[in-house]
Chains A and B, each alone.
Chain A
Amino acid sequence: MENIKDYIESGVLELYVLGDLPEAEKLEVERLRAMHPEIDVELQSIEESMWNYSRLHAISPEDSSRDKFLSRIDLKEDRPPVLTMHPKKERTNFYKYALVACVSLLLVSIVVIFNLTTKLKDRDQRILSLETSNQKFANQVNYQKKQVDDSRRYLEIYRNPQQYKLVTLKGTDKAPDASMKIAFDAVQKQVLIDLSSLNLPTIDDQHQYQLWAIVDDKPVDLGVFDYSPSGDGLLSMKSVTNAKAFAVTQEKRGGSPVPTLSEMVVMGGI
């Protein structure tokens, strides 16, 4: 702050206004002026003083000087001076060019946007078809993986007769032609339905088949399953111990706590 005051009082600002400073010092004044308002204020007041001092010395030159000056310079428009602040011609010209520029720009933009949109649609289509085939492929892989898994489990079951007991359930009087196979894993107490072996009467959507195990002469619920003639694979049911026999009844969808004996379709003992 003190420095600025010294700087102002050094007289350098007066020399600046009088055009009596070397280039480097001139630039320094301009730099400091932008940074310090008090320098700007001081410079303005010096300029104002010199303006007033000059006006005090003002002398009117010959009138011809004015016309000579005006005839020697290039002017935008050469019509006689009229008291209007805004020359219209120049303006309309400007707007005309601006309008032409805007319209051309708009047209170019529309073409570019149209092209880009077409390309974008094309890309979208390709992405969509790629996604579809990708999904198909993934489904196929999943399906094949499931088939391999199923085959592996079948093989495991048939290779280990000690562990897996294969039980064939035969049709009752209600459905004499019905049959199915169950694998009972005595070690892990697991019950598996061989879906490919199912041969049961078709039932409506309101009903489901329910598997029961007979333990100590009492039915134990092992869960419900849906029947489809083209089923494949192994279906895990609830686990059970000491099962002597298995039976399947037709029950309302969701199953029943106790079997409806009249609706029994297959049964078989171990």
Chain B
Amino acid sequence: MKRAKIDYTEPELIDAVRRKERMAAEALYDMYSTALYGVIYRIVSNEDLAEDLLQESFVKIWNSFASYDENKGRLFTWMVNVARHLAIDTLRSKDFRNQSKTDVVDEQTNLDKDEKYSEIHQDGVGIKELLAKLRPQDKEILDLVYFKGYTHVEVSDELNLPLGTVKTRLRSAIITLKTFFN
């Protein structure tokens, strides 16, 4: 269902959210829900849980909006980090581990993900082209950090790579993104 979009610039949206306007809540959700849901889904690999976490994330974003400082970064960067932390914390919590059978996500699931994703993804355009450009060793590290919630120190331990290499590959991945999207 497509809705009439309200055109807020980022600063306008931030101001409106601070005023707790209904329009702002709607615009915030409409502008960012698909991107956040995509990230959350990749982290938890479960649609129901991802839907719950998306709601939790938006409620948390709305209620703790006072702690957002636009001088420290873009709105999306802050929002996606709220959502990622919520998702990662849920995955790592005892309750979740106890009730979930997929305690450790096996390698196969990991490999399947991009495929599964293209199915769900609305247009699916671009991701294959990007995957062709991203070096697998760079992408692996970016995704471990962004979608698995690893710290770069944990990645270094996990993959048995020097910290410097982890940082270099992460940067290299993002530089590739930069060129790709330009």
Query: A residues engaging B (CB < 8 A)?
Result: 9-12, 14-15, 17-20, 30, 34, 43-63, 65-66, 68-70, 72-79, 81, 83, 85, 87, 90
Any chain A CB within 8 A of the CB of B145?
Answer: yes
- For window 100-135 of chain B, which residues contact chain A by CB distance below 8 Å? 117, 120-122, 126-127, 130
Any chain A CB within 8 A of the CB of B87?
Answer: no
A9 neighbours in B (Cβ, 8 Å): 171
Question: In the complex, are the beta carbons of B59 and A58 less than 8 A apart?
Answer: no
In the complex the two chains form, what is the Cα distance from A59 to B63 in whole Å?
24
A68 neighbours in B (Cβ, 8 Å): 55
Q: List 29 A-B contacts (CB under 8 A).
A: A11-B170, A15-B170, A17-B77, A19-B84, A20-B151, A20-B152, A45-B178, A48-B74, A49-B178, A50-B80, A51-B35, A52-B177, A53-B130, A54-B35, A54-B38, A54-B39, A55-B38, A58-B38, A58-B121, A61-B37, A61-B54, A65-B33, A65-B51, A66-B29, A75-B22, A75-B25, A76-B21, A78-B22, A85-B23
Question: In the complex, are the beta carbons of B38 and A50 less than 8 A apart?
Answer: no
- Interface 1/0s, chain B 64-89, versus A by CB < 8 A? 00000001111011001100110000
Contact flag A72-B177 (CB < 8 Å), given A47-B74, A50-B146, A54-B80: no
Give the interface SS of chain A, mostly helix, strand, loop or mixed: helix
Question: In the complex, are the beta carbons of B34 and A81 less than 8 A apart?
Answer: no
A52 neighbours in B (Cβ, 8 Å): 177, 181
Question: In the complex, are the beta carbons of A15 and B152 less than 8 A apart?
Answer: yes
Write the chain A residue with the least CB distance to B181.
A52
Question: In the complex, are the beta carbons of B168 and A59 less than 8 A apart?
Answer: no
Contact flag A57-B171 (CB < 8 Å), given A20-B152, A68-B55, A69-B58: no
Interface size class of B (residues with CB under 8 A): 35 or more
A53 neighbours in B (Cβ, 8 Å): 130, 146, 177
Question: In the complex, are the beta carbons of B117 and A57 less than 8 A apart?
Answer: yes
Q: How far is the CB of B37 from chain A (nearest CB, A)?
A: 4
Write the chain B residue with the least CB distance to A50.
B77
Write the chain B residue with the least CB distance to A20.
B151
Question: In the complex, are the beta carbons of A57 and B181 less than 8 A apart?
Answer: no
Contact flag A19-B177 (CB < 8 Å), given A59-B34, A63-B1, A83-B6: no
- Interface 1/0s, chain B 37-68, versus A by CB < 8 A? 11101100000001100110011001100000
Question: In the complex, are the beta carbons of B171 and A59 less than 8 A apart?
Answer: no
In the complex the two chains form, what is the Cα distance from A66 to B63 in whole Å?
16
Question: In the complex, are the beta carbons of A12 and B167 less than 8 A apart?
Answer: yes
In the complex the two chains form, what is the Cα distance from A17 to B81 in whole Å?
9
B36 neighbours in A (Cβ, 8 Å): 54
B76 neighbours in A (Cβ, 8 Å): 47, 50-51, 54
Any chain A CB within 8 A of the CB of B97?
Answer: no
In the complex the two chains form, what is the Cα distance from A164 to B80 in whole Å?
115
Partner of A62, one of B6, B51, B127: B51
A47 neighbours in B (Cβ, 8 Å): 73-74, 76-77
Partner of B171, one of A14, A30, A87: A14
8 new A-B contacts, CB < 8 A, other than A53-B130, A54-B80, A75-B20, are A14-B174, A57-B35, A61-B51, A65-B55, A69-B29, A72-B59, A73-B59, A77-B22
In the complex the two chains form, what is the Cα distance from A50 to B170 in whole Å?
12
Q: How far is the CB of A121 from chain B (nearest CB, A)?
A: 49
A10 neighbours in B (Cβ, 8 Å): 167
Q: How far is the CB of B85 from chain A (nearest CB, A)?
A: 7
Any chain A CB within 8 A of the CB of B94?
Answer: no
Question: In the complex, are the beta carbons of A11 and B121 less than 8 A apart?
Answer: no
Any chain A CB within 8 A of the CB of B157?
Answer: no
Partner of B33, one of A66, A72, A90: A66
B170 neighbours in A (Cβ, 8 Å): 11, 14-15, 18
